[in-house]
Amino acid sequence: MTTPLLSVENLSVAYKEGDHHTRVTHEVSFDIAPGEVVALVGESGSGKTTTAQAVIGLLPENGRIEQGAIRLNGEDISKWSSKRLDAIRGSQISLIPQDPTSSLNPVKTIGAQVGEILRIHGDRDGKVIAARVAELLARVGLSDPELRARQYPHELSGGMKQRVLIAIAIALKPQLIIADEPTSALDVTVQRRILDLIDELRRENNTAVLLVTHDLGVAADRADRIVVLQGGHIQETGEAKALLIAPQSPYAQRLLADAPSLSTTAFREPRPGGGDAIVVDGLVHEYGLGRKKSFRAVDGLSFSVKRGTTHAIVGESGSGKTTTVRDVVGFGRPTSGQIRIDGTDIASLKGDALRQFRRKIQLVYQNPFSSLDPRQTVFSIVEEPLVNFSGLDAGARAKKVNDLLERVGLPEALRKRRPRALSGGQRQRVAIARALVLDPEVVVLDEAVSALDVTVQAQILKLLDDLQRELGLTYLFVSHDLAVVRQISDTVSVLQDGRQVETGTVEEVFLRPQSAYTRELIDAIPGKRSLALA
Amino acid sequence: MTSFASIDAFTTTPATVSRTNNLFGRLRGVNPGLVLAWLVIALVIAWAIAPQLFTSFNPVQGVPSEKLKAPTLIHILGTDALGRDLFARLVYGAAHSLTGAFVAVVVGLVAGTALGVIAGSTGGLVEEAAMRLVDVLLSIPGLLLMLSIIILLGFGTVNAAIAVGITSVASFARLSRSEVVRVRRSDYVEAAFGSGGTFLSVLWRHVLPNSLTSVLALAALQFGSAILAISTLGFLGYGAPPPTPEWGLLIAEGRNYISTAWWLTTAPGIVVVVVVLAANRISQSVGKGR
């Protein structure tokens, strides 16, 4: 066997908090051979980002390596000073950061930022740099590179920004690229193109890639080997193929079972639907831009949802999903078209009638961190809708709230806590409990599981499914993740640029997509390789 | 002094949350400047509440034979032209200056926050009107505005305090409006409307509690500048009439003897500066504590 390019041996990293040192990774070891793709997979808090940061010497100030070695081409770099590491950062190891929107300097042009790495590592001639920058931008697939080099980050889309960051990462042809969740902020189709690009560049220069991801589907598609982390311990390391077919550790088995993109489960069994709970007819929503211009965010959307079933709205960012949701729950006013919930036209309601109507339809937000008041306790968050509406006294309210919290699986000890002392999954359970406490008929879930880890996501989806069965709820489920939609929905509408390109039962749309766009979306679901294996 | 109690609650929470249990660790975590600031404020509040505990001299009735004495052990800050003990006058003056500053802050806080919250939460025409009114207030130089208000209301400690308060309405209104606008756009406020909250209940339960922290920090800051402003008015003769031992008035009265009895201006001047600095330090910690 050849010497590995990077070899991480018994790496333990601790963070200092006050007087404590908390270890977040425990004796993590793995190797990366030249040209190999190794995926570091785990849920949030598993230590995968910490490990990646330690490799490139970019741990936060309160973090330090307690033991272990990081060998690059046989030399231990774990004890190098930051200044000494500067020489290899960018030239031998480079990083593609997680969030493309916050990783570029907003006041510098793209060209200046790509050129910076060349300048830092020795290039002085402005013309040479400009030519190289244009070449790099063209290489990562940006059209009109000379123009892009003069533009600022805000003039580019998320996918384009990620391409720029990749251009910076490959500028000096490093031996190892660390990609920290490079696509988690992007739409599926963009995600696929970006990952294809990284793959292609890797093959061209025989670069090794350390891919940090929470998505086992992405890891399955792209990696040669997979390292599964949980709570800072390695649970399993192995060839991607072998690990996907027969995972050894219980944690990897659970992760595999929970990943929606990898599940081969059949479509949902049809639910006995009643009458129409939601009818949307010819919905058009325009936003005014200045005096005369306007932008049509939703253009002629029509669908209906039978009582007790789930309808999904699928599309990429900017497709009009959120605008539709806000109109349906009555926060927005459609420009034209009708929305009837249980026979009532929302647009006709005003003032107190609208307030009373809200009992019937509740919204669960995408981000469980911003949708709960940081100053309220869990109990008072869930109690609040009851205070607003029902004439129940304090005792009856407490009973109802406690029953419901138990139902969504929140232990009693958490009820006096404030949201910041809860995990993401627990917060989303609180948000679901708040939505259900008024016994609504329709619950709208706006990307309600997108911000959660796969395992937590699977639990929440199961909870939603159980609640639907027991309470006969109707769900309107908005998502960009087709794999999740396949799992939870009965019917689906696919939106593109505000227009509905396809609608029908999930089975029809997934197995016999009519439009090219739907086909592209379905093809972009990660995890194809493992499904082919199964 | 309710506002003090609430500020106190804010600043002490981080300290109690600290996990270090040994005494040494706890002492190390405490910021000496902040402790000193609280001690200063506590001392002047004690002066205001029970001045007779700190001095046995009468602040208003002088002893003519004892006039313009330099600081000695009996009169630790010396005496003024009428033979009154300067330290006693400072101690008794605390009540005037502090209540003045307190009234001023309350006026500014209540009126300004109300204006800002109404503007921020209703939006539209009401907001435009309120914020243009604030712009007008901000465009008039502070001292000129205070003097004009006093001339309208008449002289006196309370009127001076109200005048000072009104000049700070604008900054309270601006700050609270921006905070309210920030909180109002958050998901949890929309969620509260979604779960059937009426405008007022959402405002009371969610918007106000989440936007008031930085307003409280500003209140502590304004407390310092209000003491300064009230002393300024006292110095110019627009505040409390003599023989009230108000701090600004003490400086003004001592001015005539600055070449022979320097302590008459210096001592009250230093007291004002120290109290203002202490209030600023506390305000800083409130701002950081959130």
CB contacts, 8 Å: A365 with chain B: 187, 191
Nearest to A95 by CA among A199, A201, A209: A209
Option in B20, B187, B194 nearest A358 (CB): B194
For testing contact with chain B, the best of A361, A373, A476 (most B CBs within 10 A):
A373
Nearest to A482 by CA among A454, A518, A514, A446: A518
Minimal C-alpha gap between A391 and chain B (Å): 13
Query: What is the structure's pLDDT at B11?
Result: 38
* Residue A494 bridge partners (DSSP): A314, A502
**B18–A365 C-beta distance less than 8 A:** no
Option in B25, B190, B195 nearest A388 (CB): B195
- Do B172 and B109 contact (CB within 8 A), yes or no? yes
**A19–B192 C-beta distance less than 8 A:** no
Bridge-based pairing state of the strands A276-289 and A336-341:
antiparallel
Helix (H, G, I), strand (E, B) or coil at A352: helix
Q: What is the mean pLDDT of residues B46-74?
A: 78
- Do B234 and B150 contact (CB within 8 A), yes or no? no
**B194–A18 C-beta distance less than 8 A:** no
- Rounded Cα distance between A9 and B25, Å, is 36
Beta strands in chain B (DSSP E): none
Minimal C-alpha gap between B75 and chain A (Å): 49
Nearest to A305 by CA among A134, A474, A131: A474
B123-147 core/surface letters (b: 16 or more CB in 10 A; e: else): eeeebeebbeebeebbeeebeebbe
- Rounded Cα distance between B11 and B216, Å, is 11
Provide the residue count of chain B. 290
Option in B19, B194, B195 nearest A18 (CB): B19
> Structural domain tally of chain B?
1
**A388–B201 C-beta distance less than 8 A:** yes
Cα Dmax for chain B: 77
CA distances from B97 to B108, B164, B230, B267 (A): 16, 12, 7, 15
* Residue A301 bridge partners (DSSP): A283
Q: Which residue of B has its CA nearest to A366?
A: B187
The 10s digit of each residue's pLDDT in B119-161 is 888 878 888 898 898 999 889 998 899 999 989 988 878 888 8
What is the fold of A276-533? Rossmann fold (3.40.50)
CB contacts, 8 Å: A331 with chain B: 190, 193-194
CA distances from A118 to A57, A121, A122, B221 (A): 20, 5, 6, 49
**B192–A384 C-beta distance less than 8 A:** yes
**A362–B196 C-beta distance less than 8 A:** no
* Residue A491 bridge partners (DSSP): A311, A505
- Rounded Cα distance between A177 and A210, Å, is 6
Query: What is the structure's pLDDT at A444?
Result: 92
Angle formed at CA B93 by CA B91 and CA B96, multiple of 5 degrees: 135
Residues of B with CB under 8 A from a CB of A: 18-20, 25, 186-188, 190-198, 201, 205-206, 209-210
For testing contact with chain B, the best of A371, A383, A397, A436 (most B CBs within 10 A):
A371
* Token digits of residue A309: 């079933």
Orientation of helix B213-236 relative to helix B263-289, angle to 10°: 170
Interface contacts (A, B; CB < 8 Å) = 64
Region label for B266, one of left (φ > 0), alpha (ψ between -120 and 50) or beta (otherwise): alpha
Indicate the pTM of the whole model.
0.73
- Do A6 and A49 contact (CB within 8 A), yes or no? no
Contacts of residue B5, defined as CB under 8 A and 6 or more positions apart, other chains included, come to none
Nearest to A174 by CA among A295, A92, A81, A258: A92
For testing contact with chain A, the best of B188, B189, B204, B211 (most A CBs within 10 A):
B188
- Do B285 and B34 contact (CB within 8 A), yes or no? yes
CB contacts, 8 Å: B25 with chain A: 19
The 10s digit of each residue's pLDDT in A381-418 is 998 888 888 777 888 888 888 888 888 888 888 888 88
CA distances from B6 to B9, B10, B13, B32 (A): 5, 6, 11, 21
- Do A186 and A230 contact (CB within 8 A), yes or no? no
Cα atoms in the Cβ-side hemisphere of radius 13 Å centred on A478: 24
Query: What is the structure's pLDDT at B16?
Result: 38
What is the signed CA dihedral for A190, A195, A196, A199, rounded to 10 degrees?
160
What is the signed CA dihedral for A113, A115, A116, A121, rounded to 10 degrees?
150
- Where do we find the tokens 């592209």? A520
Q: pLDDT band at B108, cuts 50/70/90?
A: very high
Per 3-state DSSP, what percentage of chain A is helix, strand, and coil (rounded to 5)?
40, 25, 35
CB contacts, 8 Å: B188 with chain A: 370-374
* Token digits of residue A262: 């990898």
Q: Which residue of B has its CA nearest to A328?
A: B194
- Rounded Cα distance between A259 and A255, Å, is 6
Nearest to A63 by CA among A108, A30, A17: A17
- Do A60 and A15 contact (CB within 8 A), yes or no? yes
Query: What is the structure's pLDDT at A2?
Result: 65
**B20–A19 C-beta distance less than 8 A:** yes
CATH number, domain A6-103+174-258:
3.40.50.300
- Do A219 and A37 contact (CB within 8 A), yes or no? no
Residues of chain A with pLDDT under 70: 1-2, 185, 261-266, 270-273, 290, 528-534
Contacts of residue A157, defined as CB under 8 A and 6 or more positions apart, other chains included, come to none
Q: What are the helix (H) ranges across A265-340?
A: 321-328
For testing contact with chain A, the best of B27, B185, B187, B203 (most A CBs within 10 A):
B187
Helix (H, G, I), strand (E, B) or coil at A479: strand
* Token digits of residue A332: 């927005």
The 10s digit of each residue's pLDDT in B187-232 is 888 888 888 888 888 888 888 888 888 888 888 888 888 888 888 8
Nearest to A6 by CA among A176, A231, A121: A176
Single-letter code of the amino acid located at A179:
A
**A371–B195 C-beta distance less than 8 A:** no
* Token digits of residue A505: 């039962």
CB contacts, 8 Å: B209 with chain A: 375
Domain boundaries, chain A: 6-103+174-258, 276-533
Contacts of residue B276, defined as CB under 8 A and 6 or more positions apart, other chains included, come to B224, B225, B227, B228
- Do B279 and B221 contact (CB within 8 A), yes or no? yes
State which residues form the domain around B142. 2-289
- Do A490 and A271 contact (CB within 8 A), yes or no? yes
Minimal C-alpha gap between B36 and chain A (Å): 24
Q: pLDDT band at B172, cuts 50/70/90?
A: very high
CB contacts, 8 Å: B201 with chain A: 388
Nearest to B142 by CA among B215, B220, B229, B222: B229
Contacts of residue A532, defined as CB under 8 A and 6 or more positions apart, other chains included, come to none
Q: pLDDT band at B18, cuts 50/70/90?
A: very low
Check whether B14 has a pLDDT greater than 50: no
The 10s digit of each residue's pLDDT in A444-454 is 998 888 777 77
- Rounded Cα distance between A375 and B209, Å, is 8
Element (H, E) at B72: none
Element (H, E) at B249: helix B247-254
Single-letter code of the amino acid located at B92:
Y
Contact with chain B for residue A325, Cβ under 8 A:
no
**A372–B20 C-beta distance less than 8 A:** no
CATH (domain of B78): 1.10.3720.10
Minimal C-alpha gap between B173 and chain A (Å): 23
Contact with chain B for residue A303, Cβ under 8 A:
no
Cα Dmax for chain A: 77
Beta strands in A327-446 (DSSP E): 336-341, 344-345, 361-364, 442-446
